[in-house]
Amino acid sequence: MKLIYLITLFVTVFSINLFAQNSIEYLDVKKYAIGIFGTTSLNSHSPDFAKLIGTPNCCSGFETGSGIGLNIGMIFQYPITKKLELDLRASVLDLGADLISTQQIPISDLDNSNSGDIAETEHLISTSISSFGLNAGVNYYPIQYLYFHGGGFIGFIVNGSFEQEERLTMPSNRGVFKDTGTRKRNELHGDIPELNSLSAFLNFGVGYSLLLNERGTFLLVPEISFNYGLNNINSQPWKVNQITFGLALMFNSLSREYDNPINPVK
C-alpha cells in the first residue's frame, strides 16, 4: 500500500511539468538513449529458519530483516512504437540486510542464579549480498515523458557473507552467558552457507524524463521501482524484495534534426 501512495505522489509531482515539455511526440524524436543510474534501495528480507546451515545459534527463528543498499548500473533504451520502448540495464544490486530476532530466557539460565527474572537476548545476522546481472523490460508512455516500467532481472551473486552474534540486552546492568562469561556468544563470520549462484527478480516502476536542455538531448530521470524476488538467497527459505528510489542521467540521441527544439523556450 505504501508503494502505491509513493507512486501516486511521484506521478502527481512530475505531471505538473507535462505541458511545459509537450511540443513534439517524444518517441518520434528519440532514436535511442544511453545513461547511468544510481538508486537507494530499501531491502526487505523474509527468512524462515532458526540458524544458517552448519552454524551454532540459539535463536528460535528469524522471520524478517531489513537494510539499505545502493544499486548502480548502465541503461540503454530503444523506441519500439510511439508508446513503447525497450529498456536494457546492466546492474549491480546491493541486497544486504540485518536479520534480527529477540527472545526471552530465565536469568538463571545465564549466570546460575536462582532469580526468577526474565532476560532478553537479541540474535543478529548481518549480511552483505551483491548481485550483478541484466535487467530487460519495456517502458510504456501513457503521456509524454512519463513511463511505467515492467521487466525482469537475472544475475549472478558475486558476494554473500555474514556476521552473527547473540547479545544480552536486558537487564542492562547485570548477567552474562554461562558458556562465554560475557554478554555475547555465538559470534561468527564468513560466507553464507549453500549460497545460490543466481538471483532473479520481477520489477515494476515509474519514471519521468526531465529535459536538461532545449533539444532534449540530455535528461534527468527520477525513478521509483519495486523488485520482487523470485528465488531464495541460499538453500533455505529466504527471499528478498526491494523498493528503490533513484536518478538516471541520460544522453538522448535524436533521430534527425528538428527546426524546433523538444522543449521550446516560451
The yes-or-no verdict on residue 1 having pLDDT over 60 is no
pLDDT confidence of residue 180:
80
Instruction: Give me the mean pLDDT over the 159-177 stretch.
Output: 87
pLDDT interval class at 84 (50, 70, 90): very high
The yes-or-no verdict on residue 215 having pLDDT over 50 is yes
* Of 17 and 149, the one with more pLDDT: 149
Q: Which of 21-35, 101-115, 167-181 has the lowest mean pLDDT?
A: 101-115
Instruction: Give me the mean pLDDT over the 124-132 stretch.
Output: 97
The yes-or-no verdict on residue 261 having pLDDT over 80 is no
Instruction: Give me the mean pLDDT over the 113-138 stretch.
Output: 87
* Global pTM exceeds 0.85: no
The yes-or-no verdict on residue 23 having pLDDT over 90 is no
Can you give the three-state secondary structure of the chain, one letter per residue? Answer: CHHHHHHHHHHHHHHCCCHHHCCCCHHHHEEEEEEEEEEEEEEEEEECECCCCCCCCCCCCECCEEEEEEEEEEEEEEECCCCEEEEEEEEEEECCCEEEEEEEEECHHHHCCCCCCEEEEEEEEEEEEEEEEEEEEEEEEEECCEEEEEEEEEEEEEEEEEEEEEEEEECCCCCCCCCCCCCEEEEEEEECCCECCEEEEEEEEEEECEECCCCCCEEEEEEEEEEEECCCCECCCEEEEEEEEEEEEEEEEECCCCCCCCCCCC
Q: Which of 109-123, 175-189, 219-233 has the lowest mean pLDDT?
A: 109-123
Instruction: Give me the mean pLDDT over the 118-133 stretch.
Output: 93
